[in-house]
Amino acid sequence: MRASKKTLQILDNFWEYCKENQYFNKGYPESASFDYSPLFRFFQFSMNNCGDWRTDSNYALNTFSFEREVIHYFSNLFSLPIEESWGYVTNGGTEGNLFACYIARSLFPTGNLYCSDQTHYSVLKIANLLRINLIEIPSSANGEIRYDLLARSIKEHNDKTPIIFANIGSTMLGAIDNINLIQNALSNLGIPRQNYFLHADAALSGMILPFVDNPNPFNFNDGIDSIAISGHKMIGMPIPCGIVLTRQRFLNTISKHIDYIDSLDHTISGSRNAHSVLMFWYAIQQYSVESWKKRIRHCLNLAKCIESKLNCFNIKTLRNRNSITVAFPKPSENVWKKHCLATTNNWSHLIALPHHQDINCFSGILSDIILDLT
């Protein structure tokens, strides 16, 4: 199939646009420091990871063997024994959150879904799709869920099997809901551990907390039942994708054998992107634990520099512990539109990522923000 000159010219123009704007994102958490060129040859194949990577499939051209290694890697990273874990590579954080809530709904069909007002917008869609009653809990000044109000709401609804959606790095403020305090609140209400489901939405911070010296509670040892992260955020990938992990024993309520592929399927999407599995696998081969620690230290130090720069001009900032997100008062529309800043209510933010070499990468945007807000 040959492309016309007009088609090729359109693509050439878009190529130049992409090169010009590759590193513009300073208000969104997509890392641009990656090189997957060794995988390009595989794009000539139509591959499909339909079904469960643990079982053989009648559809032979898949990357199940790579997905197995990817899931084992993240099971270890999030402190879930391999023999107790199951998960898969998703199309992104929303699918991971949907899968977790789907599991929770199958376990506790009458439970309400509780989240903070800082939770990702996907949760409202998920609650509507699954017809779960969603209860939004106000957050504190730093963006964490109000644990006292969470407990009060569960008690007022006489909820015996609540489903809790915890932010492990909220979208705007990088807030991390305290898993221990959530569990303490449930325990004080007399709700046994086996009677609630606790999901961790760790889209960005899931690849930060495992590599810091003093992490917030966030993993399976800390008591979560599922976790979702994004591949195109801290790891950096050209295709939106993610990982969702949960405990294997929860699959019994949703497992189904599909005869024409001769495999089990527990996933949301059925047919899945086999190429993004290869990217995940390739990415985890490139970085040792020490390499990841170095990358995270760089991002955290850069976030501190951004924070200090704004504070020098008496601009109020908010940066949560172990967060690379620096929030500040929303500037005028011409500034946040010019620099593609994420904004909500009265906040905007900057996010320090591995491809930002130093504070000079932010010089232009910081100058405009400071000029606008002072």
Q: What dotted CATH number matches 291-373?
A: 3.90.1150.10
Taking only the tens place, the pLDDT of each residue in 130-147 is 999 999 999 999 999 999
**Res 255: pLDDT:** 65
**319 pLDDT tier (thresholds 50, 70, 90):** very high
Q: Where are the domains of the chain?
A: 41-286, 291-373
Q: Is the pTM of this model over 0.85?
A: yes
- pLDDT 10s digits, 34-60: 999 999 999 999 999 987 888 777 778
Q: List, for residues 215-266, the tens digit of each pLDDT value.
A: 999 999 999 999 999 999 999 999 999 999 999 999 887 766 555 555 567 7
Give the percent of the chain with pLDDT over 90.
84
Q: Is the pLDDT of residue 314 over 60?
A: yes
Band of residue 22 on the pLDDT scale cut at 50, 70, 90: confident
- Per the listing, tokens 């040859």 go with 41
Fold of 41-286: Aspartate Aminotransferase; domain 2 (3.40.640)
Q: Express each pLDDT in 295-311 by its tens digit.
A: 999 999 999 999 999 99
Average pLDDT, the chain: 93
Of the listed ranges 45-54, 89-98, 310-319, the one predicted with least confidence: 45-54
Determine the pLDDT at residue 191: 97
What pLDDT is attached to residue 3? 84
Mean pLDDT, residues 27-31: 85
pLDDT at 283: 95
Residue with tokens 């809901």: 177
pLDDT for 32 equals 85
In this chain, the answer to whether the domains covering 41-286 and 291-373 adopt an identical fold is: no
Percent of the chain with pLDDT over 70: 97
Residue 267 has pLDDT above 90, yes or no: no
- Sign for the CA dihedral angle at 216, 220, 226, 229 comes to positive
Give catalytic residues, as residue numbers: 323
Mean pLDDT of 154-166: 97
Interatomic CA distance for residues 316 and 191, integer angstroms: 40
* 298 half-sphere exposure, CB direction, 13 A CA radius: 14
What confidence score (pLDDT) does residue 233 get?
A: 92
Cβ distance 229 to 283 under 8 Å?
no
Confidence of residue 270 (pLDDT cuts 50, 70, 90): confident
> Tell me, what's the pLDDT at 54?
84
**Residue-wise burial string across 137-152, b where 16 or more C-beta atoms lie within 10 A, e elsewhere:** bebeebbbbebebbbe
> Which pLDDT value is given to residue 263?
56
